[in-house]
Amino acid sequence: MRNACAALAAVLMISGCAMTLPVKGQSGDGSETFTGSATGQIDGAGTLSIVSNKGRTCKGDFVYITRREGSGTFTCSDGQSGPFTFVSTGTRGTGSGTLGGKPFTFSFG
């Protein structure tokens, strides 16, 4: 059994095991909503991509700081950028941040 588990772990690491989850959120004042996806890698890094109802696209890279918490930075098509943080169970989570100094919240999974 141990050999089977070790073999499975090795295959997952070699294949670049990643998990992609849906993302949805909104600006702090509710005037802008967005949807997208978050992809996490087995090494604790990942990407977050969103598109807003106003046509703005934003992409960010993140890293897990602990097993449950991570942070990253967005850069958007309109030139705005900002940091975000999140808490995750592994398959679901919530987060918040700022874009151009304005707050936003999101959930994933």
List CB contacts of 90: < 8 A, sequence separation 6 or more: none
Do the beta carbons of residue 23 and residue 30 sit within 8 Å?
no
Inform me whether the pLDDT recorded for 100 exceeds 50.
Answer: yes
- Total domains present in the chain: 1
Q: Is residue 10 pLDDT above 60, yes or no?
A: no
CATH of the domain at 87: 2.40.128.120
- pLDDT tens track for 15-62: 468 899 999 999 999 999 999 999 999 999 999 999 999 999 999 999
The proportion of the chain whose per-residue pLDDT surpasses 70, expressed as a percent, equals: 85
- Look up the pTM and report it: 0.80
Q: Which domain holds residue 60?
A: 18-108
In a domain, 34, yes or no: yes
